[in-house]
A and B are shown apart, each in its own frame.
Chain A
Amino acid sequence: MSRHLASPDIAVEASSVAMSERQAGCTEMRRAMRQDGVKALHSKAFRDQSRARGLIEAIHRFSADRTLNLMEVCGTHTMGIGRYGLRTAMPTGINLLSGPGCPVCVTANRDIDRAVAIARIDQVILTTFGDMMRVPGSSSSLGAEKALGRDVRVVYSPLDALDLAISHPNRPVVFAAVGFETTAPAIAATILEARERHVDNFFILSMHKVTPPALRSIACDPSLRIDGFILPGHVSTITGVQAYRFLADEYGIPGVITGFEPVDILEGITMLIRMAISGESDIRNAYRRGVASDGNLTARGLVDKVFKPCTTTWRGLGELPASGLCLRNEFLPFDAGKRFDITVEPTREPAGCRCGDILRGRIDPESCPLYKTICTPEHPVGPCMVSSEGSCAARIRYC
């Protein structure tokens, strides 16, 4: 064996000995112990080409010319499948569909209009996540309002919005809160912090949604035939595995909780194909390093404390019971909808845009007459093209 091949092992051993001699502290030991696994976690192992190739071969072997519709319901999966070119690596029978996984895309026009109406109120600072800025409502968007001189700001964390409220005590600061289960705990914790710190000029406009009702709506749609769900990794980090059990038990559709690196996604697809072919319906977890089977109980506890389920409207799926999160009565002082008396303009959908059908997986972006003709990333017509996680934007960018 050449020296070149043998050297890495020796180097690893030498560096770990040196490390334990140099820093005998418990923290360092612990870090050294974890280092290997975590390094492997992100940079190399889950992006390894040979491992990915092995899984693609396994997918071709297992699928055996069967036709299967697999749907992912997470914007980051939409992006990942596009970025790593996984759609083209699939056998012809395996269709990877994009479902309602992009929170910005599923936000109804009326909710955008409400945020716009609040941004137009004098003195208000409206804060939100970056993806929301360009999403068109009926006649305007938050970005367009900013261009007109309204105080609309992009924040990375709801805590930044709270800091803004603390540093501007005389102005109401509203956080337009979009997102699924992953984001809701962050908002809940921020509201609790606002209450603890007696901040009375911080409000949220809750447009939160939870994923299981949307999956149920898709699972029982007779016009769609879904053979398996690629379940969202970071939503499951909070919800755990049980939240999706109904898909297998009630509808007989298997699901695999999947991570976001190429090897993660391919492994999820492989597990799903094996289950679909053998007629098994189960919910499995292929992202165990980030998803415990119970999820994050602390985070769920905070969400339960602050929010209660309520009916909300999804673009493409319509009104779904218990699919949204509204503030509980004791937290109503933080509700921007209660604080401001706003008149929302009549809702108008963009003419010809088929974002709703694309979100349901009924049609491909290419089947929309506007796609790449008058609807482009530079001049988007609907939210599926606006959001970087939207199916149309991802398709144009990576295909």
Chain B
Amino acid sequence: MMPKGYYRIVPILRSIQKRAFMCLAVPGEIVSLESNGHALVDMSGVRRDISIRLTPGAQIGDYVLIHAGFAIQIIDATEADETLRLIDELTGSDIPYNEPSNGRQP
């Protein structure tokens, strides 16, 4: 049984693979650590073996930016929150950033 969303995301990933946009990095979650510096990551439901040689500190559960089969950075969730806080301060808006999609304004 494929994870939810699998069939929707496969063509997208295939097209990424074909076009291989140059500096595009996609986020993925580390599911398990393999031997010799590799890890299994989950990218929106698709699992792929990648190298974590460039991010030796990466642990299971970390979200990483993946480029050309390598994790290039561990995503910092607290910095993401901080960035959103600064933006909302600037624009004077008070949108909670984890609101559900059905609550979004058109």
Contacts and interface: CB of A to CB of B under 8 A. Distances in A.
Contact of A38 (B51, B63, B67, B104): B63
- Counting chain A CB atoms within 10 Å of each CB, the highest count among B29, B77, B101, B105 belongs to B77
A179 B23 contact: yes
Interface in B55-106: 55-56, 59-63, 65, 67-70, 72-73, 75-84, 87-88, 90-93, 95, 97-101, 103-106
A5 interface: yes
B72 A238 contact: yes
Contacts of B68: 129, 156-158, 179, 183, 186
Interface residues of B, number: 56
8 contacts: A38-B77, A45-B84, A104-B22, A160-B69, A182-B22, A182-B25, A185-B54, A292-B76
B63 to A, nearest CB: 5
Interface residues of A, number: 75
Contacts of A232: 23
Contact of A186 (B29, B54, B98): B54
Contacts of A235: 23
A289 interface: yes
A46 B29 CA distance: 18
Contact of B72 (A40, A74, A76, A182): A182
A388 B25 contact: no
Contact of B101 (A44, A234, A270): A44
B92 to A, nearest CB: 7
A267 interface: yes
A141 to B, nearest CB: 15
Interface in A228-276: 232-235, 237-238, 260, 263, 267, 270
Shortest beta-carbon contacts, A-B, top 7: A157-B69, A37-B77, A54-B91, A129-B20, A45-B97, A288-B79, A289-B80
Contact of A130 (B17, B51, B88): B17
Interface stretch (A88-96, A295-303, A306-314, A336-344): A295-303
A50 interface: yes
A102 B84 CA distance: 29
A131 B54 contact: no
